[in-house]
Structures are given as structure tokens and as C-alpha cells.
Amino acid sequence: MSERAPELAFKAAELDAGDQLAPVRGRFVLDDAVYLDGNSLGALPAAVPGRVEDVVRRQWGELRIRSWDESGWWTAPERIGDRIAPLLGAAAGQIVVGDSTSVNVFKALVAAVRMAQEDSGDARDEILVDATTFPTDGYIAASAARLTGRTLRPVTPREVPGALSSRTAAVLLNHVDYRTGRLHDLPSLTAAVREAGAYAVWDLCHSAGALPVGLDAHGVDLAVGCTYKYLNGGPGSPAYLYVRHGLQERFDSPLPGWNSHAEPFGMRPSYEAAPGAVRGRVGTPDILSMLALEAALDVWDGVTIEAVRAKSLALTDFFLQCVAAQVPEERVESLTPLAHAERGSQVALRCADAGDVMERLVERGVVGDFRHPDVLRFGFTPLYVGFGDVERAARVLGEVLAR
């Protein structure tokens, strides 16, 4: 196997030399490790520490409450939503940032059920949920079903078209599977859900910032996602909620906090929802985490999501090629589809002793993560991962597995 190592290293250098995104790496704080865990926690953008220091020392420390207006704190959720929008193929005014992904799944799913009920009454008594989902979505969907008197039915994304019926109220799907890295067919699944008269809620945690989503183009109803993976917002940075323009007037939140009120400082006893995406807000936004995210989004200046996607596929192609060349065949099995149309920006390798193997990789400066019980996960963030990193990661994996 290892006889091909020099050729792969040469190929990596060639690919790096032709990589137009290579200079973007300089916008991050990185070290000598190969960081392939940006699908769990994105690396630190270099602009963030200074911005956070300004937010803490000047905006909070000196201006204090004046910053709610003067430093733009109050409008941050929708302003930062508009910064994320182009990366998701969404026009402005449809995304607000805040709360966790789980909380946003809850808002979106309950609101979807309410719209279905408005359309069709109680006949639509079923919520379909991706059976392969990151578990929290399933737990929250079960809660939404319980509170709205609907039945939850777990199905694989492939089974969704056959499971849709006049009983379907809403469908909660993942764009990219967190475990296998499989990319699901958002355009056709969305079309099928809409055709059935139901509402689609997409979880974009593992696709946002890694590949084009095309929310507006594909008529997605509602979407949520986190910002700490490929959007590099920092640990636990706030999530977002997308509600397409055409549904905003009907978006009836189960968490109608005062930040979503038409007149939040009117202190009125009765609730009246604000127009637009703002009605997806709830309570006071966590400003430090939110403005760190805003600074982190500067790394996207001049970068298109199409260029990121092209490099992402080239990186994962090359990784699979290097693994095939350098890792004993019987030791790992790729769970990630070979077809580009079915691949996100990660490669998942099944490996019997994955937990131990990942520990040894990390010791050798190759950082991926381990998903119970037997998966090695490698995420490829095109903004800061190069082809030389890919070659090294596969080579070290081969060394570890050959022992």
C-alpha cells in the first residue's frame, strides 16, 4: 500500500497549489494539527478575539445598557440572520439567530403542525421524523407531537415519499446525516412534502456552510441549524430559524417571548406577534456568543458557497482515495456515499475499535471524532483544510491501523 505514498504527497501539493480558497486559511487561528473536527466545532476565526474583547470591554463595560441601541445589540438576531442567509440561498428577512437548535426545532415543528391544522383541521394527525436523525431532533419532535396531539412516525428519508399522505402534518428531515455524512435530496423531498400538502422542516446543522442549500429556490418552508460547525461561530453559538416569507404571517410560535412582540417595549399584557422573521425570536439574545458569531462570519467575505462545495468534494474524494491506498482494506468501511450528489462534507469510516483508534490519531495530531459505537468521523472544512492535511490524515490513519 505505502508504495503510493510519495505519489499521493505529490498530488496533494499539486491540489494545494491550485486551491483558490487556500488563502482563506489565514483567516483562522490554527496550529500544526490536522483539524478534521470542524463538523463538531469550527476553528477560531482570527477576527473573533478582538471583536469579543471590544464587546466585553467597551460595549458592555463602558456603554452598558446604551449598547442595546448604540452597539446594535437589539437587532443582532435578524442582522446576523441576514449575514447567514446568502450561504443558505435565502433572501434577507427570513432568518433569525438565537436559542439552540433543539429549541428552534420545537418552534418550527409546532408552528408547522399549526399551519397544517389551519389548512386541513385535525385530519393531518401525523408528524414524520427522520429515523436516522441526530437524536435531539427525534426527542423534540416527540415532544411537539405530544403537545399538539399528533402521532410521531419515524421513517428513513428514503421512505418519506411513500409515507406521505393526507394525514401528514409536518416532516422533520436532516439535510446531511450527522453519522454517515450522507446528503439527502432536499429539492425532491421538499417538493414531495409540499405536494402532499404538508410542511417540511429541514435541519441544516451538517450542511450549512459546507454546501449550497438553496432554501428559497427549493421552496423550503422552515429550517433550523447550528452555527458552531461549518459556520465557525464558537462553542454553543446560537442557532437559527428560517421561516420563508410566504409563511411568516402564519407562523404561530409556541415560544412567544417578548422579543417577538410587535411592540416589545410597549409592555402590553396581550401578545401580538411582530411581522417578519422577528417573530421567531423569544427572549433576550445572548449577546457575547451572538456577536462572536457575527465576527466569525467575516471569513466568508469574497467566498462563494459554490467554491466551498467544489473544494469540499475534492477534499473528500482525495481522502477516500488516500484511505483506499494507505489503509488496510479489511480495517475500515466507508459509510459515506461515493456519489457526489449523496455526500456532505465529512467521511465516516466504520472501524471495530474506533474509540481507541481516534485516541491514537489525536495523539499524532490528526483530530477527528468518534461516534458510538464504531464510527470514525472526519469533517472537511474547505475554508481551512488543505489537501496536504488530507494526505497526512489518511497516512497517519494507515500507520495507526497497520500496527
Is 229 an active-site residue? yes
- Number of residues forming the site for a second copy (CB under 8 A): 79
Active-site residue flag, 228:
yes
Return d(Cα 198, Cα 165) in angstroms, integer.
9
Return the residue of 62, 301, 329, 330 that touches a second copy, per CB under 8 A: 62
Site track for a second copy across 197-236, x = CB under 8 A: -----------------------------x-x-----xxx
Instruction: Rule CB under 8 A: choose which of 4, 11, 22, 60 binds a second copy.
Output: 60
- Asked if 203 is an active-site residue, the reply is yes
Contacts of 10 (CB under 8 A, 6+ apart): none
Of 288, 307, 314, 324, which one interacts with a second copy (CB under 8 A)? 288
Q: How far is the CB of 136 from a second copy (least distance, A)?
A: 4
317 is catalytic: no
Residue 191 near residue 220, CB atoms below 8 Å: no
Residues 343, 318 contacting (CB under 8 angstroms): no
What's the rounded Cα separation, in Å, for the pair 259 and 240? 15
Please answer whether residues 196 and 161 qualify as being in contact, where contact means their C-beta atoms are separated by less than 8 angstroms: no
Q: Which of 35, 178, 228, 318 is catalytic?
A: 228
* Min separation Cβ 184 and a second copy, Å: 18
The one catalytic residue among 27, 229, 343, 392: 229
Of 318 and 378, CB closest to a second copy = 378
Interface positions, 147-186, toward a second copy (CB under 8 A): 147-148, 154, 179
Residues 294-353 that bind a second copy (CB under 8 A): none
Cβ-based neighbours of 215, under 8 Å, separated by 6 or more:
88, 89, 90, 94, 202, 223, 242, 244
Cα–Cα dist 20/306, whole Å? 12
Single out the residue of 224, 227, 245, 206 nearest to residue 103, CA to CA: 224
Question: Of the candidates 65, 162, 330, 341, which one interacts with a second copy according to CB under 8 A?
Answer: 65
Residues of this chain, 235-274, that bind a second copy according to CB under 8 A: 235-239, 253-259, 261, 265-269, 271
Cβ at position 147, least distance to a second copy in Å = 4
Min dist. Cβ of residue 219 to a second copy (A): 27
30 and 381 in contact (C-beta within 8 Å)?
Answer: no
- Assign 127 to helix, strand or coil: strand
Question: What is the distance between the alpha carbons of residues 226 and 114, in angstroms, rounded to a whole number?
Answer: 24
* Of residues 14 and 356, the one with the C-beta less far from a second copy: 356
Which residues are designated catalytic?
Answer: 134, 203, 228-229, 377
